[in-house]
Amino acid sequence: MWYLCVFFHRLLDYRRPEVESLAKLFGVFGDGDGDCCLEWRLPEQHHPDSPFHFIHLPSEDLARSIANRSILVKGIYELWGEGSSYEELEDTIKSYPDDRKLPYLTPESTFKITVDSFGKVIGFQEQNERIQGLAYIPFKGQVNLRNPDHRFWLMETDDYGSNNGLPPVVQRRIFFGREVGAAARKLLPTYQLKSRNYLGPTAMDAEMAFLMANQALATRGKLVYDPFVGTGSILIAAAHFGAMTMGEDIDIRVVRDGRGPDCNVWSNFKQTLFSYEYLIHQPLSGANELLAWLIYSCLLQYGLPMPISLLRADNNLPPWRPGLEEVISCPLLLVFWKFPVLDDLYGNLVFDAIICDPPYGVRAGGRKSGGRKLMKGAVAPYTVPDDKRTDHIPSTASYSLAECVHDLLDLAARMLIMGGRLVFFYPVLRENGSSEKRFPEHPCFMLVAACEQILSPRYSRILLTMVKTESYSEEVRESARKNHLGFKENHLKWLVDGNLHSAVFSPDNSQMGMVGDSKFNKESKPKYRGKYV
Amino acid sequence: MRLLTDYMLSSNIKGVTNGFPLRLEVEKSVEKEVDFNADFLKNMFPKIEWKALVDAFRSMGYTELPNEAESPMLDSKEFLKKFHHALLQLHLEEGALICPETGRRFPVSKGIPNMLLHEDEVFDEVYQIESQF
């Protein structure tokens, strides 16, 4: 059946993929890894960014489940009528089959009608007039504004002349429908960052964290892993949906000798202040204990299940034991891999989903094991004297985005269950204005969604959702190992090539000569904001 | 640190071929109340190698669970409770994980294991290649 799906006018790219992921989670496509495409339709002459969409779903229960768990769906409605004028609306509502309408209009039920509009505010007086205009619908029940049995919505959108950055509306359109389910947005104020006890400089925004958890199909019984856990913002969202969580981080922004004047003291201070791993590594002190407590308190605060574990490790050299991954070395087995007898082969895979926001060097840079001495290559690696081993703080080197993403994909391919999801942010520069973007690829993964969030005129980040569709084979392992070595050998080259920081923060030369015209520039910008919302 | 973590980790020091299971050195262990979640236990059970996990439980002094377990046992509430307790409620708070091959201590402090390697433990074939010339 077709339903009207109305979105919040936010994060436009994320809206349909979220609904599709939730449809997958609630079993719209059956248990298989089969076709993950929902049928969508736009109202006549509507811009694709319009908040009004039609969606085909097998049942009302599924529609309700999807809406209730969603962050960006304002509501899913059973459409009783639509039209470009109130006369047309009346005709379509009247011709909508009575057996669909009457069960919701019975005398013993309560109801509420809400008048809503997109791109304009309708005054209270006017709202009342519109509701009274619906008198041709035989409402028999009582009105209950607090807690009605049935909620009805009258929604209107029009070409109001000035569109204030909203998608252009060509023609007036009015919808009337019965609410099937509404979004879980109420949980956002509970989880908003400012209510947290412990925050880092790059803590993930609550709304985005919930969207990521939805993309990863986090739910009760699943194990979700974040290899760049930081302050745990992403895991909080996954834990809210009942998943068990596990986090890893290397972040020790230690003030090291020889990093030179380039080393920003301010950022350094900020990092060490918030980096619990660093503090935990220090000899015991009051502050140390306090900080360890604070990380857990973030999760305690919401009464969520604690992470199974947090550990300090390096994404570049993951410490997971070999037995946990899936490797099919015998080519013969590949032929029979669908036979249930061989299910044991996949038995040891642990993670149902990996969700993370890798450091891409703009606000926080990545680190990996190995220091200055390792980078220069010619000098033999530093040997730790035996008497200093116990409390030694190992040096770390910067970790280029390309290598970081390569390691992440390899780790995910090894450790995720078949059909498990990898959800992570990938930054792209927007300078060339080219719409063609290249994303990381892996033979074990299929990209199911790429959602852009524009962060500045210079760059945006894209939430990539990948599904594991192929087993991790010996071949993949070998090519990953070669790449790993390649990254080691050309460490400096990768760091320079993949340096987003300078591209994002350097002054823009092309605009230097136009300072005087800046006002003019501002006004010439197109009104429609699209993905900026 | 829960024992599931110990079960999942291995020592990845260069040259180490048998880096797991990591032996537990317990200085302080605690029990934390965790809500019972049967779905999670049932989802995890087929994913783990029971023997290795039970060994970890043993070294923490928890011996209630049998050496071998089959999936039908998941129907028993009593078994699930014990499994739940061992997997999620037992924590290694202070101590270390010990590499079975080299004896290297990975310290566990405030429940967080530090698996980061020292400079001379990082596996880097680059040096090996260079030293051949």
Residue A138 pLDDT more than 60?
A: yes
Altogether, the residues listed in chain A come to a count of 533
Does B37 contact A392 at a Cβ distance shorter than 8 Å? no
Q: CA-nearest residue of chain B to A348?
A: B47
Query: What was the pLDDT predicted at B131?
Result: 39
Would you give the end-to-end CA distance of chain B in angstroms? 45
Which of B118, B121, B126, B129 to mutate to test binding with chain A, by most A CBs within 10 Å of its CB? B118
Q: What are the tens digits of pLDDT across the range A461-484?
A: 899 999 998 888 878 888 887 877
A2-184, which class in CATH?
Answer: alpha beta
Confidence label for A43 from pLDDT (cuts 50, 70 and 90): confident
Contact of B110 with chain A, judged by CB distance below 8 Å, is answered with: yes
Contact of B16 with chain A, judged by CB distance below 8 Å, is answered with: no
Two tokens, residue A74: 């304002």
Does B110 contact A374 at a Cβ distance shorter than 8 Å? no
Does B8 contact A384 at a Cβ distance shorter than 8 Å? no
CB-based burial, A388-401: b 16+ in 10 Å, e otherwise: eeeeeebbbbbbbb
**Candidate ranges A262-276, A277-291, B11-25; pick with highest mean pLDDT:** B11-25
What is the average per-residue pLDDT within A319-332? 54
Tokens 């972040």 sit at which residue? A251
- Per DSSP, the three-state class of A479 is helix
- Average confidence score pLDDT of chain A: 75
Residue A144 pLDDT more than 60?
A: yes
Structural domain containing residue B96 = 3-131
Residue A93 pLDDT more than 70?
A: yes
Q: What is d(CA B72, CA B67) in angstroms, rounded to the nearest whole number?
A: 15
Query: What was the pLDDT predicted at A253?
Result: 40
Residue A331 pLDDT more than 50?
A: no
Q: What are the tens digits of pLDDT across the range A170-224?
A: 788 999 999 999 887 777 877 777 766 666 677 788 899 999 999 999 988 888 9
Residue B17 pLDDT more than 60?
A: yes
Confidence label for A98 from pLDDT (cuts 50, 70 and 90): very high
Contact of A371 with chain B, judged by CB distance below 8 Å, is answered with: yes
Q: Which of B1, B5, B119 sits opposite A394 (nearest CB)?
A: B119
Query: What was the pLDDT predicted at A115?
Result: 95
Q: What is the dihedral of CA A324, A328, A333, A334, to 10 degrees?
A: 120
Q: What is the dihedral of CA A398, A399, A401, A406, to 10 degrees?
A: 170
- Cis ω on the peptide bond leading into residue B21 (within 30° of 0)? yes
Q: What is d(CA A43, CA A225) in angstroms, rounded to the nearest whole number?
A: 40
Q: What are the tens digits of pLDDT across the range A405-430?
A: 888 998 888 888 888 999 999 888 87
Taking a contact as any Cβ pair under 8 Å apart, which residues of chain A between 45 and 104 contact chain B? Answer: none
CB-based burial, A66-89: b 16+ in 10 Å, e otherwise: bbebbbbbbbbbbbbbbbeebeeb
Residue A533 pLDDT more than 60?
A: yes
Q: CA-nearest residue of chain B to A394?
A: B118
Contacts of A313 in chain B (CB under 8 A): 115-116
Residue A71 pLDDT more than 70?
A: yes
Contact of A394 with chain B, judged by CB distance below 8 Å, is answered with: yes
Number of structural domains (chain B) is 1
Query: What was the pLDDT predicted at A380?
Result: 59
Residue A305 pLDDT more than 80?
A: no
Does B43 contact A349 at a Cβ distance shorter than 8 Å? no
**Candidate ranges A127-141, A198-212, B36-50; pick with highest mean pLDDT:** A127-141
Q: What is d(CA A254, CA A465) in angstroms, rounded to the nearest whole number?
A: 33
Residue A336 pLDDT more than 50?
A: no
Q: Which residue has the higher pLDDT, A295 or B80?
A: B80
Does A348 contact B115 at a Cβ distance shorter than 8 Å? no
Q: CA-nearest residue of chain A to B107?
A: A390
Taking Cα atoms as reference points, which of A73, A74, A41, A77 lies closest to residue A214?
A73
Does A312 contact B2 at a Cβ distance shorter than 8 Å? no
- Provide the CATH number for the domain around residue B126: 2.20.25.10
Does A288 contact B110 at a Cβ distance shorter than 8 Å? yes
Chain A with chain B: Cβ pairs closer than 8 A = 146
Q: Which of B115, B119, B130 sits opposite A374 (nearest CB)?
A: B119
Residues with Cβ within 8 Å of residue A272, at least 6 apart in sequence: A253, A254, A255, A278, A279
Tokens 């987003």 sit at which residue? A500
Q: How far is CA A222 from CA A231, A346, B83, in A?
A: 21, 16, 17
CB-CB contact of A477 with A45 (8 Å) = no
Q: Which residue has the higher pLDDT, A212 or A299?
A: A212
Would you give the end-to-end CA distance of chain A in angstroms? 31
Alpha carbon A337 to chain centroid distance? 32
Does A221 contact B125 at a Cβ distance shorter than 8 Å? no
Confidence label for A301 from pLDDT (cuts 50, 70 and 90): low
Q: How far is CA A322 from CA A210, A376, A411, in A?
A: 32, 31, 12
Which of A280, A304, A311 to mutate to test binding with chain B, by most B CBs within 10 Å of its CB? A311
Q: pTM of the entire structure?
A: 0.80
Q: What is d(CA A454, CA A441) in angstroms, rounded to the nearest whole number?
A: 22
Contact of A510 with chain B, judged by CB distance below 8 Å, is answered with: no
Q: Which residue has the higher pLDDT, A314 or A287?
A: A314
Does A288 contact B39 at a Cβ distance shorter than 8 Å? no
Residue A80 pLDDT more than 90?
A: yes
CB-CB contact of A409 with B133 (8 Å) = no
Contact of A239 with chain B, judged by CB distance below 8 Å, is answered with: no
Taking a contact as any Cβ pair under 8 Å apart, which residues of chain B between 39 and 58 contact chain A? Answer: 39-40, 42-44, 46-49, 52
Two tokens, residue A304: 């969520």
Query: What was the pLDDT predicted at A370?
Result: 67
Does A312 contact B114 at a Cβ distance shorter than 8 Å? yes
For residue A382, the distance in angstroms to the closest alpha carbon of chain B comes to 6
Query: What was the pLDDT predicted at A327?
Result: 42
Contacts of A305 in chain B (CB under 8 A): 34-35, 37
Taking Cα atoms as reference points, which of A38, A35, A34, A3 lies closest to residue A19?
A38
Q: What is d(CA B6, CA A320) in angstroms, rounded to the nearest whole number?
A: 10
Contact of A288 with chain B, judged by CB distance below 8 Å, is answered with: yes
Contact of A443 with chain B, judged by CB distance below 8 Å, is answered with: no
Burial of A224 (0-12, 13-18, 19+ CB in 10 A): buried
Taking Cα atoms as reference points, which of A183, A157, A173 lies closest to residue A7?
A183
CB-CB contact of A453 with A462 (8 Å) = yes
For residue A182, the distance in angstroms to the closest alpha carbon of chain B comes to 27
Does B11 contact A319 at a Cβ distance shorter than 8 Å? yes
Q: How far is CA A453 from CA A236, B2, B62, in A?
A: 21, 37, 49
Angle value at C-alpha A213, between A38 and A29, nearest 5 degrees = 25
Query: What was the pLDDT predicted at A334?
Result: 35
Contact of A265 with chain B, judged by CB distance below 8 Å, is answered with: no
Q: What is d(CA A458, CA A428) in angstroms, rounded to the nearest whole number?
A: 9
CATH of A195-276+285-385+392-498, one of 3.40.190.10, 3.40.50.150, 3.30.230.70, 3.40.50.720: 3.40.50.150
Q: What is d(CA A163, CA A525) in angstroms, rounded to the nearest whole number?
A: 14
Q: What does the domain layout of chain A look like in residue ranges?
A: 2-184, 195-276+285-385+392-498
Look up residue B123 and give its amino acid: F
Query: What was the pLDDT predicted at A389?
Result: 73
Which of A248, A310, A369, A403 to mutate to test binding with chain B, by most B CBs within 10 Å of its CB? A369
Q: What is d(CA A157, CA A522) in angstroms, rounded to the nearest whole number?
A: 28
